[in-house]
């Protein structure tokens, strides 16, 4: 199994290549430099492994939610590579990737990415018997004080939304709160973990079906004053 994964949905830019469960990654926190970085990262990984794009079984990518421009960069790169080489693709939520990062130590992860405009991208994930984080409610964009809270479980928080709105989110979770990491960013390596499971389950799709996830229809607010 050979899978390439990329993510550009947040300040972080990353690419990962997994060959028969051996994974290598390039990762850099570089706001507004994703376009310049992502393809060289991909080229480096393929060159080091000594393989060509057309030898891949699939390309996975962070489909959002996240920064509008970043999400568009990822899907544009994936479309270019996959169309050219007739490869299937595997879209993975960036919120799911955040949750997966903590799967070794946590059973329940409440993910939040700062969505600006006093809102967060919010998702709740629980670990299954295979060690994979799976969504238990529909992902949403919301005011932190109105985030949907689970009825059961002890929850660990992950993502930039926790750093910006820690007080509001801790209040929402109350006695179900275990702690949080507000500095963690989604990575291609965590996307890879979920993508491999999807490929084995025959959940890869054609590149024509690949769509970004924005959650918010309105990406900018214009003042009418």
pLDDT digits (tens, 9 = 90+) for 73-129: 999 999 999 999 999 999 999 999 999 999 999 999 999 999 999 999 999 999 999
Distance CA 184, CA 173 (A): 20
Confidence at residue 151, expressed as pLDDT on a 0 to 100 scale: 85
pTM of the model: 0.93
Between 225 and 52, whose confidence is greater? 52
Structure tokens at 98: 């955040």
Cis peptide bond upstream of 4, omega within 30: no
Closest to 34 (Cα-Cα) out of 76, 95, 91, 80: 76
Q: Is a pLDDT exceeding 90 seen at residue 220?
A: no
Mean pLDDT of the chain: 94
Q: Is a pLDDT exceeding 50 seen at residue 182?
A: yes
Q: Is a pLDDT exceeding 80 seen at residue 221?
A: no
Sign of the CA dihedral running 141, 143, 146, 152: positive
Closest to 63 (Cα-Cα) out of 210, 222, 194: 210
Query: Residues 128-155: what's their mean pLDDT?
Result: 95
Query: Residues 2-8: what's their mean pLDDT?
Result: 98
Polymer length in residues for the chain? 225
- Could you give the domains of the chain? 2-93+186-209 (3.30.420.40), 95-181 (3.30.420.40)
Distance CA 24, CA 7 (A): 14
22 half-sphere exposure, CB direction, 13 A CA radius? 5
Confidence at residue 217, expressed as pLDDT on a 0 to 100 scale: 66
Q: Is a pLDDT exceeding 90 seen at residue 141?
A: yes
CA distances in angstroms from 2 to 38, 56, 83, 173, 181, listed in the order given: 19, 5, 17, 40, 31
Split at pLDDT 50, 70, 90, the class of 8 is very high
Confidence at residue 12, expressed as pLDDT on a 0 to 100 scale: 97
DSSP string, 60-79: EEE--SS-HHHHHHHHHHHH
Confidence at residue 132, expressed as pLDDT on a 0 to 100 scale: 98
Confidence at residue 216, expressed as pLDDT on a 0 to 100 scale: 79
């Amino acid at each position: 199994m050979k899978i390439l994964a990329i993510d550009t949905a947040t300040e972080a830019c990353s690419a990962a290549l997994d060959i028969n469960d051996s994974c290598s990654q390039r990762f850099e926190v570089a706001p507004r430099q994703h376009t310049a970085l992502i393809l060289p990262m991909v080229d480096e990984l393929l060159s080091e492994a000594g393989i060509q794009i057309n030898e891949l079984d699939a390309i996975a990518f962070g489909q959002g939610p996240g920064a509008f421009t970043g999400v568009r960069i990822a899907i544009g790169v994936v479309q270019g590579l996959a169309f050219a080489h007739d490869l299937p693709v595997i879209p993975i939520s960036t919120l799911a990737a955040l949750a997966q990062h903590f799967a070794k130590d946590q059973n329940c992860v409440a993910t939040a990415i700062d969505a600006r405009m006093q809102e967060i991208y919010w998702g709740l994930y629980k670990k299954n018997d295979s060690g994979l984080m799976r969504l238990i409610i529909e992902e949403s964009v919301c005011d932190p004080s109105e985030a949907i809270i689970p009825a059961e479980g002890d929850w660990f928080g992950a993502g930039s939304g926790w750093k910006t709105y820690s007080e509001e989110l801790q209040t929402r979770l109350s006695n179900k709160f275990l702690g949080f990491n507000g500095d963690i960013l989604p990575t291609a390596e965590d996307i890879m973990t979920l993508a491999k499971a999807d490929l084995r389950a025959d959940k890869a799709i054609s590149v024509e079906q690949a769509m970004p996830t924005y959650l918010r229809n309105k990406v900018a607010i214009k003042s009418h004053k």
